[in-house]
Amino acid sequence: MILRRVIKHFRQQEWTAIFLDFLIVVVGVFVGLQVSNWNATQAARHNYKMAVERYEAEVRANLADLRKMENLALTGLKIAQNGLDTLLLCEDSPENRLIVNNGINAIGGTPGIMMRTTALFELTQSPAMLAQQSNAERQRFSNTRYQIEALLSEGRFFERLPLEERLENNPILQLGARKYRNGKSLGHSFSSNTHPLILSVPLDEACQDNMLVKSFYTWDKWQNLVPELLTNLQNLLENSLEELEP
């Protein structure tokens, strides 16, 4: 339509009309680009808002899980420490053997430290998300990710070291009667039907076994650090939630 008018005006040499037609085209293109840019900006802001909301939900889910992990870690630590302290008494009795045997099975594994980080990684890796952040926001999210990764790295170290020596290789331990166990961890059900490890010698002899004492000691030394690490992670996430508040 505009093109036909331009051709008509050009043939009739109506220069003022041609100028007005040209101006209409330019203004139309300009307005179209502005509307397109505005729509793109609004979409980018909306996507960023949704990403921040996903991160907030991720933080709250992590906090709930970390509290459960801390309770689990403290429970296991108490059983293991009671086992070690009773072992070091070198006093044999059915009650003491039960406490030590429970401790032996507690130090046979570690509970694990896990966190969701998908939403945080999106905020710290996606160019589209980074473009929507102020310098302060970018620094804050980056610092949160750095501290989480550092603490999780320490946690993996604490979890790995106690398991480098296999308890089942200790000659003074034997298999007890098969036991069925079930429970829940982080919302997931689990069950096992295995033989627990138990002492094959009296406690006054077991307490002289350097291999067993060191297994208890190593587990206690490193798992003792886990509750505080979990507390530090919780404090970090709670601070991050506060920083999200307007």
- Read off the pLDDT of residues 155-206 as tens digits, 9 standing for 90 and up: 999 998 888 888 999 999 999 888 877 666 656 666 777 889 999 999 999 9
Q: What is the mean pLDDT of the chain?
A: 85
Q: 122: domain range?
A: 2-244
| Total domains, the chain | 1
Identify the DSSP state of 92: -
* pLDDT recorded at residue 111: 84
Residue-wise pLDDT tens digits, 6-23: 555 555 555 565 555 565
Which tokens belong to 188? 């997931």
As a whole number, mean pLDDT of residues 20-38 equals 60
The residues that bridge with 52 in the sheet, in sequence order, are none
* pLDDT recorded at residue 44: 74
Residue-wise pLDDT tens digits, 76-106: 999 999 999 999 999 999 999 999 999 999 9
- This prediction has a pTM of 0.78
Alpha-carbon torsion angle 213, 215, 219, 221, nearest 10? 50
